[in-house]
Structure 1
Amino acid sequence: MGALFILLGSFWLGVEQGRKLSERPRQIRLLKSALQSLEAEIVYGHTPLHESARKLSDRLPQPIASLFSSFAHLLTTTEMDAQSAWRKSLQDIWPQTALKEEERSILLEFGDTVGRHDRLTEQKQILLTLTHLERQEQEAAEKYKRYGKLYRNLSIIGGLFIVLLLL
């Protein structure tokens, strides 16, 4: 029975690591989609930032929806400026994401400019952020292709090795 638990536990560990790898490109795609929608709301819809963020939070899956929901909430209920609200929101949801430090720095850089410029400059900043996220998405997808199955297979082999050592 113990050997079975070790094998199941090691397999679960590998599957979980593979899931995290697959989740990262998906979340980056969601962020890109959200920023494109934000651009459309701000530039073409002339919607205020807090209202745009609230609309996005209604349309997006978790944990990205929480980022925009928290951002909209902080903008409307506190005296925080957009930069501080973005940083706080990002900090609060970060543990729930599968994103890496590279994406965090890109999003923090975006947060430094959000809500501080005219519509045209905001659009340029969003496009710059999208370009950076596109590069990260390609890298994340490549890592998933390369290491996704590897994690599962190594975890099974590692579990078998532990079982053999214990016998």
Structure 2
Amino acid sequence: MVKLIGAALIIFAGTMIGWLQAARYAARPNQIRQLIHALQRLETEIGYGFTPLPEAIARCAAHVPEPAASLLRDVNGRLGGAGEPSFRESWEAAVAAIWPNTAMRQPEQAALVRLGHNLGISDREDQLKHLKLAAQQLAFEEEAARQDSARYAKMWRSLGVLTAALIVILIL
């Protein structure tokens, strides 16, 4: 009886590990899409609303879903903090702070960090160009993430169950 309960727990744990890994693959394209949407909103605020960058970030943070909202709120909070950090420093620190809580990978992080290097230091037109470029880079990464999700999500679900079943067979 104890072996049967142990086997069931091992299979359950292996299955959950596989499903969690598959969920990360499925969440990545959605999170990239949300970042693209946030950048487009920011572009609209800056380009058509003539809104200053800190105010535009605050407005966008209120209208986009997580994790993009967390990134924008964190940037805005750091800009108003003590020591008067530059926009670049605030952006990089915010990206580094929220990144472990996302399903995104290094290429998306690199695109956002590059964007942070260019925002806030040039005129409105140049900022709009950099926002569009970052959105295009993220769109390319989104397509790659969708392909990875289609390729690997089902594999991880199956691998979790099959690995747990192998462990149970070896133990019994």
TM-score, normalized by length of structure 1?
A: 0.97
The offset of 1:13, in angstroms, is: 0.3
Counterpart amino acid of 1:109? Answer: R
Q: Aligned to 1:77, what secondary structure does the other structure show?
A: coil
CA drift of 1:81 comes to 1.2
Q: 2:70 aligns with which of 61, 66, 73?
A: 66
Whether 2:36 is the aligned partner of 1:32: answer yes
4-13 vs 73-82, which moves further: 73-82
**Are 2:78 and 1:97 equivalent residues in the alignment?**
no
In 1: Cα distance, 2:87 partner to 2:136 partner: 22
Q: Is 1:47 aligned to residue 51 of structure 2?
A: yes
Using the alignment, how far apart are the partners of 2:119 and 2:131 within structure 1?
9
Partner of 1:144: 149
Q: 1:161 aligns with which of 157, 161, 166?
A: 166
Deviation, 1:75, is 1.5
TM-score (norm 2): 0.94
Could you tell me which runs of 5 or more consecutive residues in structure 1 were left unpaired when the two chains were aligned.
Answer: none
How many residues are matched?
167
CA RMSD in angstroms comes to 0.9
- State the identity as a percent: 34
Runs of 4+ in 1 over 3 A off after TM superposition: none
- Give unmatched runs, 5+ long, in structure 2: none
Q: Is the aligned partner of 1:6 residue 2:10?
A: yes
Task: Report the equivalent of 1:122.
Answer: 127
- The whole-number CA distance in structure 1 between the counterparts of 2:61 and 2:128 is 20
Larger radius of gyration: 2
Check the 8 A contact 2:15/2:160 in 1, yes or no: yes
The one-letter code matched in structure 2 to 1:22 is A
Give distance in 1, aligned partners of 2:144 and 2:136. 13
CA distance in 2, matches of 1:62, 1:34: 10
